[in-house]
Structure 1
Amino acid sequence: MIRRRTLLATSAAALAAPAVSKAQGVTKLSIYYPIAVGGPIPAIIDGYCKEFQTQTGIEVTPVYAGNYGETMTKAVTAIRGGTGPQLAVLLAAEMHSLQDMDILVSLDELGLDAEGRKWVEGFYPAFLANSRVDGKTWSVPFQRSTAIMYYNKAAFAEAGLDPDKFPRTWAELAAAAAKLTKRDASGRVVRWGVKLASDAGNAQWTFGALANQAGHILMNEAGTETYFNHPKAIEAMAFWRSLAFEHKATPEGISAWPQLSPDFLEGNAAIIQHTTGNLTNVRDKAGFPFGVAGLPGKEGPRTVVGGGNLYFFKQANAAERAAALKFARFLSAPERAADWSIRTGYIGTRPDAYETPALKEYVTKFPPADVARGFLPVAVGELSTFENQRVYKALTDNIQACLNGAKSAAQAMVDTQAEADRILKPYKRA
């Protein structure tokens, strides 16, 4: 291959990690984190960092650097300028692109002992799908999610649908979404049946789920080939397009991710496809009974994983690498993974998180918190290639052209494949 260079509060005592010892030599680390300053998540991360410092003597400074794309740009710029962090939370799907920059160090190179290897194997396999290549593990699952459906149970009842039975197939979803779409006397839509994100940065995640629902994987494990012009990929795009042009149950054109949650909470969309990381927000703000369900599929439910992993950078010296690995193990301890899931809505990345008393109690009281986990066996990794952002742009441009009515599903996918082939040509095996 050619490569170019919070409902439940958990006490500090309950979250203590006995295996974490006082640090020797290293006193400071920095981590770039993908969120704007403010809001509840920075407060949670700040709390974890302070707790880690209390246990180890290592001060971890989070740098909140904007969205995933902005965080990656800022982290890479800082690293190349010699002032970069020792670790960062970046999209799991950026593994190949980050490898190509030659700035990562794998967990294997960090020096995992037998206990460390057991720790790595303890993550859900679906969350490791975007972590491994060339026989090495390149990142640690942390801020992970699957795509799920949020639906308004009151709207279901109003439309004559069973509020406790969410569609499991494409045909059922299309029929339900058409019934849920509501128009006023003038014919203007006041509530869409379903909305899926098709804006830049999100369209590829939506489409990856749809492709899996058709029984198709969009790329090879090496990240050097894509399969957009496959009949099943075209079928997935055609179904997405049909929701607007045939069933009139979703808007034509672009639906932006930031607007989906407000539309749902304000009653302007009966169903939205969103992340598990939105669950706490919806739980706290919805003024109506809502449900959470796995994504339907051509014949049955299938989904896609997403979110961010912890990456380690080779610019760090040996002691800093060891300290960064210690912090990663601290963050993913079962009790802390449970706390993170409870307070954010993200999925606990390890089965043992769901054996903790706190998360057991939480999912008993709030069953929607455990819905997404049940769909991990039918989830695939997110679209991940070399030159990932360029491939994403090619796909997004053509998805939007299709949803705007400018291209057929077949033409959109053929054009995407042609551009992806051009982008990935330098990385293909000779």
Structure 2
Amino acid sequence: MALAACARKEDTKPAQDLNASAPASSSSATGSPVAAANDKPTPEKAAGVAGASPDPAAQKPLNVVLITIDCLRADMPWAGYPRPIAPRLTEFAARAVEYTHAYALSSYTSMSVGGFLSGRLPGELKRDGYFFGTYAKENLFFPELLQDAKVFTAAAHAHGYFKKSGLEQGFDAWEIVPNLKWNNTTDENITSPELEAIAERLLSDPRAELGRLFAWVHFLDPHDKYMPHDGISWGKTQRDRYDGEITYTDRYIGKLLDFIAARPWGPRTAVIITADHGEAFGEHKQYVHGFELWENLVRVPLLVSIPGVAPRKIDTPRSAIDLAPTVLDLFGVPTSPDFLGKSLVPEIRGAAEPTRDILVDLPATSDNDRKRAFLHGNLKVIAAGEADLAQVFDIKEDPGELSPIRGTDATKEIVALYKERQRSIRDVPPTKCKEGCLNGGYRKK
């Protein structure tokens, strides 16, 4: 979440394809219908693929529910974490297509969410420039395109930031848990029960029942402050308390998934589960999130369940920049030429997985300098400030990013690739925070 002081620093156009990886098949198909053809993303036209069912319901158009979970790290039980802290999400992962190397667009909510809704880097969007960023109406968000296509669009949230964020563009229904306590340094609310109830109510709207729907539900409880919950205890450390929050949130995500499955339209609904960013527990002497672009902050889960598509793992790195074109593709709605990502639907249905470089963007705000991360193969550049002072890490050999590498041909090559990619970014200066924004060419000289 976009909380200015909670993310403490101390204890406190797409690039070329590379690094392809063949998917490892896991279990059998779900038996649900397939909603669109491989060769043309039109939901009204069904096609048989591996694991698909010939059910006549395959001819019906898809709905899409996007569930995002604040602060959800990539190291979850289905990815090897030893504690069974999320049984319902683990169950969902077993029947979904799992992206094992997925990246958020930034390291805190405001920038990450603005980016994936727009299909662009957050630094390319018109915004005021404050840490709790407000986005301008001139930005195009993908729900606006769904709305134009007569899709019912609804969203449920659990933090006061979303009241005046500008992120509500394109939503027919936009609701926030009421009576929230505001604290710009942390989050002291427990919201999953009320949020899940709002989501059920929105999904029961006649417009959802009778037509096509897109719903976005953002669960917030894993966010610091890690609140206690009766009957849940993994210990007393920060990570222990966070794990308890994951367990608590998992229950309500499971309840929402059960509700969706029980609706008449449930069998023709695709569900995407991901996170806006990760979290830190002492890595690089940092706690919570924001301000930096380390792997633990920007690698996130990405699970996609499409009716009729068999579960498996995809190891090729992917970015949340692909969410907008993916959702539009599932609806058969043309994407915007301004969106930078690519639809994941073809590869989820079994097509080749072309490799692409990954870019993560943390624009300058009232609270932080600009930083960007660029991933090319196993190498990662983290570049800071106007001068793009860069460090390079081999995240395969050094996953903790503890030992930057220097002076090799490979480091020179990736820095050159980053600078080339950087030149194509259309940075937009903030509209208001011109004195306070720290970098990116925004501070007055």
- Highest Rg: 1 or 2? 1
Same fold (TM over 0.5): no
**TM-score, with structure 2 as normaliser:** 0.24
Decide which structure has greater helix share. Answer: 1
**TM-score, with structure 1 as normaliser:** 0.24
